[in-house]
Amino acid sequence: MSVKPLLAAFRDYLSLRDEPVMREWLDGFGWNLSERNLVPKPAAASRHLAAAGDCAGRAEAALLAALSEFSGRLNWMQMYTAEDFGQDFLDDYAHVELIGPEGHFMSEEIAAGLVVYGPGLDYPDHWHVAEEIYIPLTHDGLWSADGAPLAARKAGSFIFHQSNMRHAIRAGSAPLVALWVWRNGDLRQKADY
Ligand SMILES: [Fe+2]
């Protein structure tokens, strides 16, 4: 079943962002992408989406609502196994590759999608070759880059990680949902930590 309306919401949201890095990455990006017929794969962490809606930013609410609506059709993925950060981590984290080499919409140019973390989830320092943009859709999350202390970043904040810059994330008392984009690296890489 198609998830094109979710791609449309994703594109609509990004079209309103005017950060230079975002514009450099996406101006001229060909959004007319081929959709794969991916089998839906559930993830335990998607149970947090309903509560996440209560702490979404105003500008981010429509995209989060679309994610909730289409969650049951999505191929939820996990970069890690229980041997990495434990089973509790896997029960409270999952991401969707909406666009990318393995995503719902094919691209070798960028990978992009959405990720959900349950309340209090601690995602320790990790890094990868690709450059990365994060935009939290919800308030209350804590973010760290390049060894800096964790700091609260509101919904709609623009977070950019250079290649191989380590970064860490911790959800607050509410679920944390974020948009992510990768470019300029192996888009299939598992992050190091
Ligand atoms: Fe990352």
Whether 116 and 45 have beta carbons less than 8 Å apart is answered as yes
Q: How far is the CA of 134 from the centre of ligand 1 (A)?
A: 8
Is domain 4-183 in CATH 2.60.120.10, yes or no? yes
**Starting at the edge strand that comes first in sequence, how are the strands of the sheet with 122-126 ordered?**
122-126, 167-170, 141-145, 151-153
Integer Cα distance of 63 and 69 in angstroms: 10
Determine the distance separating the centroid of ligand 1 and the alpha carbon of 49, expressed in angstroms: 21
How far does residue 132's CA lie from ligand 1's centre (Å)? 6
Determine phi and psi for 146, rounding to 5 degrees: 60, 35
Instruction: With both helix axes pointing from N to C terminus, report the angle between 61-70 and 4-15 in degrees, rounded to the nearest 10.
Output: 170
CB within 8 A of 83, min separation 6: which ones? none
Q: Tell how far the Cα of 87 is from the centroid of ligand 1, in angstroms.
A: 20
In order along its 193 residues, the chain shows pLDDT tens digits of 899 999 999 999 999 999 999 999 999 999 999 999 999 999 999 999 999 999 999 999 999 999 999 999 999 999 999 999 999 999 999 999 999 999 999 999 999 999 999 999 999 999 999 999 999 999 999 999 999 999 999 999 999 999 999 999 999 999 999 999 999 999 999 999 9
pLDDT at 81: 96
Q: Which two tokens stand for residue 114?
A: 């959405």
How many A from CA of 34 to the centre of ligand 1? 25
Structure tokens at 179: 């948009």
Q: Which pLDDT score, from 0 to 100, does residue 1 have?
A: 85
Q: Among candidates 142, 132, 145, 143, which has minimal Cα distance to 180?
A: 132
